[in-house]
A and B are shown apart, each in its own frame.
Chain A
């Protein structure tokens, strides 16, 4: 909506010059750092594999933000808690089936993992549904201003994460081992473990399914219609309320399954959602919020960039690098890498 001003503020020449100078500086700086750091080729490949894996997880969470943003034009601040509940749902399911029988093998292990993923997704969906019911729908009924949604979501997030902290303890809870992890194969010196491949494969499958759902089904066209113009969509016979609930549930399914995948690697805890939540939101904006493919691209790019950057500087600067990239991309290309598409905000 700020188009006139933006056009006035950046005349094309100035903009091109500024962009060129910025890109040159960044490239020069990066080259210098890479040359100084004696990074080997196989280390680089390993960083790439790890970056893509965490990036795929970011992408799965980012889709929840992007879908909800698409239909409601609001940031679902409590999405990270949906993710957390999904992780705990999957974790309890895995504990229950594994019991005290030790490490499962073969088909057993596949079935257990699938069960954990399913329960995680279910828990995420239930959490997302309850969230929509308590934090969003009452406000929507009253046509509350946009900021009210945000505050209500912040409240819900505080409430949910600390309730989980009270119930499940405030330390990390590990997922029981479900399969024997090991190096499957090497790509030019980088090790690809079963766990890595499994996470990447599951995330990829979910992303493809969602893409088909949004672009190839009746429900998907309903979601896209609401994203474009909710009022007109309702005149065309789309049940907007139902679409909103379904969107929340789809986002919850994805985030819940993603939470379980995340917990397999990093364990589950009551505040596990915060950092990946913020990163995933960054990824969604980076790729172009409201754009399903953009969320995927944004997640992968963010995962790669922060992994490389964390190696080159220090691991604790990962977050700083992630946000730095976001700010720079927004300044040069305010609508994200792929542009906003699903729900162009009015």
Chain B
């Protein structure tokens, strides 16, 4: 583990620009921030917002802040050696702490306890968000992580499988939610395997022909698939109830022997169910990553032609990754459908992009990173809900993504392999042997 090069956090500071240029950039950024935080315009007077935020006294506040930050960066550049030293000391200590044998299970247990306790302390609104925003999106992101993080396939229509899971649940469990329903109605728990199969089947049907295409085409075809599913859900009134959505899907319930439990309106039970599912999925996927299939997928991601040449059945493995991701998404759809009302609006392209962003932001290929990404991104979203007008949240969200990509493209908690890849690319593509050497040490 100590062989590995440290993650390249210092690369942004190595790209030193001239101080004057930096001042210009900071001033420009401060103007944008002034726009972001200033008064809004409206359609009859579309330029009022710009006038109120840029051509106003308040703009000097922002310009002044930019100059102050610039001065600080000047000082920072001088202090850099000392800071780097401190940082190195901290990282080595923490590494030594976490590398100690037996510390990993304890860390995991601690995280699990935190995941159980923290929601109890939250406000009801935050508990709701913990379920529908964080929990379900963490599950979705874990599934997409197999497709993007392990196999390197870009899927922009991922939310379609979530929709398929949700509509399948309504179809198989309720006689009222949709205009049509299956002849035999099931308990929602029995729908988990059904939705898993249907979503996986949809994944195979979509992936079968399209996975032969090159990466960018796969992106556009999956994007098209996502749009088609949403449009059909919106327009096929006879089956999906159109834009009115599905209402009245029965809640989850267990009736086994003495256990009789029914999920209700309280979000916490759903949260704990999600925690259990997420832990199971993480265990399964970490096993998958270490298996022969996982190594095959990594080979496909690195170089598909070489993988094919060395005997990896690339198409079959890609199809497998695709349908594993799809079925995870389908399961998330089941929970969502039993928890609350949904309509085609829920399954927009924006939602697909949000899941994708969570995966990349958290750290592609890293299970904990992906979950952390869901918590941070959705948490930021939730926090901003009280601070800025609801529509403005997307501005901050977009800015956050851009800043993240500029300063830490490997994500918050990158998988070790991924940060090596990025470090290698930055250093101008050193030998590939370094990568494989790293893997040997890691595994």
Contacts and interface: CB of A to CB of B under 8 A. Distances in A.
A154 B224 contact: no
A168 B409 contact: no
A5 B406 contact: no
Interface in B206-231: 209-210, 212-217, 219-221, 223-225, 227-228, 231
Interface string B16-44: 00000000000000000001100011111
A333 B62 CA distance: 54
Contact of B227 (A143, A320, A334): A320
Interface in A209-268: none
B257 interface: no
A281 B220 contact: yes
A83 to B, nearest CB: 17
Interface stretch (A34-42, A54-62, A106-114, A159-167): A159-167
Which 5 A-B pairs rank lowest in CB-CB distance, beginning with the nearest? A155-B401, A159-B398, A323-B224, A158-B398, A169-B43
Contacts of A322: 224
Interface in A57-103: 69, 75, 88, 92
Contacts of B220: 75, 281-282, 285, 326
A323 B215 CA distance: 17
Interface string A111-155: 000000000000000000000001100110111111110111011
A316 B217 contact: no
Contact of A156 (B213, B214, B402): B402
Nearest to A152: B405
A193 B388 CA distance: 46
Given A75-B219, A163-B36, A331-B209, A145 B409 contact: yes
A139 B409 contact: yes
A174 B360 CA distance: 38
Interface-central residue, A69, A156, A320, by most chain B CB under 10 Å: A320
Interface in B128-175: 148, 154
Nearest to A325: B224
Contacts of B44: 169
B212 A9 contact: yes
Given A154-B401, A158-B401, A320 B232 contact: yes
Overall SS of chain A's interface = helix
A269 B303 CA distance: 43
Contacts of B428: 143
Contacts of A163: 35-36, 395
A4 to B, nearest CB: 6
B15 A141 contact: yes
A145 B400 contact: no
B163 to A, nearest CB: 14
Interface in B193-210: 209-210
B364 interface: yes
A143 B224 CA distance: 29
B111 interface: no
Interface of A: 1-2, 4-6, 9, 69, 75, 88, 92, 134-135, 138-139, 141-148, 150-152, 154-163, 165-173, 278, 281-282, 285, 289, 314, 316-317, 319-320, 322-324, 326-327, 330-331, 334, 345
B35 A5 contact: no
A1 B422 CA distance: 22
B357 A317 contact: no
Contacts of B99: none
B285 to A, nearest CB: 19
Interface in B309-326: 309, 314-315
A142 B15 contact: yes
B42 A169 contact: yes
Interface string B370-405: 000000000000000000010110110111111011
Contact of A143 (B42, B214, B404, B425): B425
A159 B304 contact: no
B175 to A, nearest CB: 28
Nearest to A18: B209
B437 interface: no
Nearest to A284: B220
Most chain B C-beta atoms within 10 Å of own C-beta, residue among A147, A157, A278, A320: A147
Contact of A168 (B43, B221, B224, B353): B43
B49 interface: yes
Q: A161, A169, A170: which has the most chain B beta carbons within 10 Å?
A: A169
A163 B36 CA distance: 7
Contacts of A323: 224-225, 227-228
21 contacts: A1-B304, A2-B214, A4-B309, A5-B315, A9-B315, A141-B15, A143-B426, A144-B422, A155-B400, A155-B404, A161-B394, A162-B391, A166-B36, A166-B40, A167-B35, A172-B43, A285-B217, A320-B228, A323-B227, A324-B224, A334-B217
A331 B216 CA distance: 14
Given A167-B41, A167-B47, A330-B213, 4 more contacts: A1-B304, A2-B213, A150-B219, A166-B392
A138 B14 CA distance: 12
A134 B227 contact: no
B399 A166 contact: no
Contacts of A171: 42-43
Contact of A147 (B364, B394, B401, B406): B364
A111 to B, nearest CB: 23
Contacts of A141: 15
Given A147-B364, A326-B221, A155 B405 contact: yes
B421 interface: yes
Given A166-B395, A319-B227, A2 B221 contact: no
B66 interface: no
Contacts of A144: 405, 409, 422, 425
Given A75-B219, A143-B428, A160 B398 contact: yes
Most buried by B among A139, A159, A166: A166
Contacts of A154: 353, 356-357, 401
Contact of A159 (B216, B305, B389, B399): B399
A326 B223 CA distance: 11
Contact of A151 (B12, B392, B405, B421): B405
